[in-house]
């Protein structure tokens, strides 16, 4: 059955929860390396401390995707998971900046990331559930728009608190600007997700009897893992081609997220150590840089579908990744904090495309009744390179890069350029079909 087209505001409502989710991601991406450093971690120890995000993504997302495919209750199919994840994330965000020991912060990050993944994974399938093929690019771009807004505000919060005169640290040395930002973000996370839960309805399964039969047959955790393995074995060709692109893309992003703030403190602000005022100012400026790429993300997000209609989604994605890679590589030449902001323009363009184009391309090649599990499996190709980086980068950072965060950021730029080259071999089945239908209708 062809799904009805939704209005702009209906797509707005179903995507609004992403603002809250990005408070969870944005605050940790901009501040966790700084928190770890202030709690005593050395630069070469940072990668292993970031293992929580990719590991929880690897374990949680496909399971939640499979579970949500087989869920139907008063809240619907995906919305129960939005709400459960939001409540747990809110608790973890409140507790994080009060960590007194390094192990405590690392443990809370595992809880936070698992909770965020519970909320986030069904949002991708939500677009495919609710929208016809012709509106899916718009749906994913709307998510990119809200991701940009959420990340912008989250990244700016410590900088803004500082400008309003907030100074000092917690007993463990974490900046109060960071503490208050996490607490405000916790409230925003819950309220934004709650807005989507209350304003958006879901379509029930077309054949409820068949759905209930399938649900009964596939009950139990073992069946979830069997279904995930089956999905991997039966992976569509387009998904395999996109997988390689995703691996290099997210390796590049992970390098940036782990070390851009430290690079700003040590390379641009010339901070002598993690306890100095220059280190704190560099960390806040790194958050401001992340806010710039988030602003660029939501400014260009709605232009991407129009450009993609003309030159294709593959071309848009390749060009966007090139902009991001060049932006990160250019940090080698920059010692001025204001010029550093310009590098984030390229990263913002890449980020807007990363959050929409691969999912729009992928959704056209997937069976509708397995959208959730395949979106979860697709996340493997995001988290696997991040896990590899977390487990192997310590000797690289210490022995090859001499604990210099700048070189890790540049490695991220090179990885993004490789991803841009690999996009060329991806077959966009959905776009080709849409163009063929448009041509037939015109004739």
pLDDT digits (tens, 9 = 90+) for 231-242: 888 888 899 999
Answer with the residue of higher pLDDT: 46 or 2: 46
pTM, entire model: 0.78
Residue 117 lies in a domain: yes
The answer to whether 311 and 402 have CB atoms below 8 angstroms apart is no
pLDDT-derived band at 222 (thresholds 50, 70, 90) equals low
* Selected residue with higher pLDDT from 191 and 274: 191
Average of per-residue pLDDT values in the chain: 86
Position 320 pLDDT exceeds 90? yes
C-alpha closest to that of 318 among 368, 284, 353, 287 = 353
Q: Read off the pLDDT of each residue in 173-180 and give the average, rounded to a whole number.
A: 88
The count of residues in the chain is 443
Pure H helices in 131-274 = 133-163, 176-199, 208-217, 221-233, 237-263
Which residue range(s) make up the domain with 125?
8-202+226-442
Burial letters for 270-307: b for 16+ Cβ neighbours within 10 Å, e otherwise? ebeebeeeebbbbbbbbbbbbbbbbbbbbebbeebbeb
Q: What is the structure's pLDDT at 443?
A: 45
Higher pLDDT: 100 or 221? It is 100
> What average pLDDT does this structure show over 202-218?
60
User: What tens digit of pLDDT does each residue of 325-356 get?
Assistant: 999 999 999 999 999 999 999 999 999 999 88
Asked if residue 220 is part of any domain, the answer here is: no
Structure token digits, residue 251: 């390796």
Residue 396 placed within a domain: yes
Higher pLDDT, 418 or 381: 418
Residue 8 CA to residue 138 CA, distance in Å, equals: 9
Burial of 398 (0-12, 13-18, 19+ CB in 10 A): middle
Q: Please give the average per-residue pLDDT across 395-410, as a whole number.
A: 92
pLDDT at residue 249, as a whole number: 97
pLDDT for position 53 = 83
Question: Rounded CA gap, 36 and 29, in Å?
Answer: 12
- The DSSP line for 116-172 is HHHHHHHHHHHHHHHS-HHHHHHHHHHHHHHHHHHHHHHHHHHHHHHHTT---B-TT
| 22-39 mean pLDDT | 89
Give the residue among 246, 247, 271, 250 at the shortest CA–CA distance from 405.
Answer: 271
CB neighbours of 74 closer than 8 A, spacing ≥ 6?
none
**Number of H-type helices and E-type strands within the chain:** 20, 0
> Residue 216 domain-assigned?
no
pLDDT for position 62 = 76
Would residue 133 count as lying in a domain?
yes
Number of domains in the chain: 1
Residue that the structure tokens 């608190």 belong to: 161
CATH of residue 356's domain is: 1.20.1250.20
Q: Residue 30 pLDDT > 90, yes or no? A: no
Check if the beta carbon of residue 197 is closer than 8 Å to that of residue 79: yes
CA nearest neighbour of 76 among 214, 211, 192 = 211
Residue 418 domain flag = yes
């Amino acid at each position: 059955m062809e799904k009805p087209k939704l209005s702009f505001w209906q797509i707005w409502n179903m995507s609004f929860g992403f603002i809250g989710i990005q408070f969870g991601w944005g605050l940790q991406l901009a501040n966790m390396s700084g928190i770890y450093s202030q709690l005593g971690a050395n630069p070469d120890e940072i990668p292993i401390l970031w293992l929580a995000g990719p590991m929880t993504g690897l374990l949680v997302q496909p399971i939640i995707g499979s579970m949500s495919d087989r869920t139907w209750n008063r809240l619907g199919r995906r919305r129960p998971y939005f709400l459960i994840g939001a409540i747990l994330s809110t608790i973890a965000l409140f507790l994080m900046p009060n960590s007194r020991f390094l192990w405590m912060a690392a443990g809370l990050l595992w809880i936070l990331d698992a909770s965020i993944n519970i909320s986030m994974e069904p949002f991708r399938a939500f677009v495919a559930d609710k929208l016809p093929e012709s509106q899916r690019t718009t749906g994913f771009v709307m998510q990119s728009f809200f991701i940009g807004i959420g990340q912008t505000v989250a990244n700016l919060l410590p900088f803004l608190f500082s400008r309003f005169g907030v100074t000092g640290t917690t007993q463990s040395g974490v900046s109060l600007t960071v503490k208050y930002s996490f607490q405000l973000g916790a409230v925003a996370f819950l309220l934004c997700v709650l807005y989507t839960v209350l304003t958006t309805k879901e379509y029930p399964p077309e054949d409820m009897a068949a759905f209930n039969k399938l649900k009964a047959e596939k009950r139990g955790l073992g069946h979830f893992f069997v279904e995930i393995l089956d999905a991997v074995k039966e992976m569509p060709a387009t998904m395999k081609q996109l997988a390689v692109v995703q691996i290099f893309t997210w390796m590049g992003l992970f390098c940036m997220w782990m070390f851009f703030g430290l690079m700003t403190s040590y390379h641009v602000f010339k901070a002598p150590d993690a306890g100095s005022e220059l280190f704190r100012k560099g960390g806040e400026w790194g958050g401001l840089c992340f806010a710039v790429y988030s602003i660029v993300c939501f400014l260009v997000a709605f232009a991407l579908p129009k450009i993609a209609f003309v030159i294709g989604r593959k071309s848009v994605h390749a060009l966007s990744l090139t902009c991001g890679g060049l932006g990160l590589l250019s940090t080698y030449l920059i010692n001025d904090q204001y010029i550093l902001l310009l590098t984030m323009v390229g990263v913002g363009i890449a980020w807007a495309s990363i959050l929409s184009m691969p999912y729009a391309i992928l959704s056209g090649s997937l069976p509708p009744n397995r959208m959730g599990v395949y979106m979860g499996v697709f996340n493997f190709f995001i988290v696997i390179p991040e896990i590899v980086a977390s487990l192997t980068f310590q000797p690289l950072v210490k022995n090859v890069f001499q604990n210099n965060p700048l070189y890790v950021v540049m490695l991220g730029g090179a990885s993004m350029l490789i991803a841009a080259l690999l996009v060329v071999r991806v077959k966009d089945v959905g776009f080709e079909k849409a163009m063929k239908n448009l041509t037939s209708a015109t004739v």
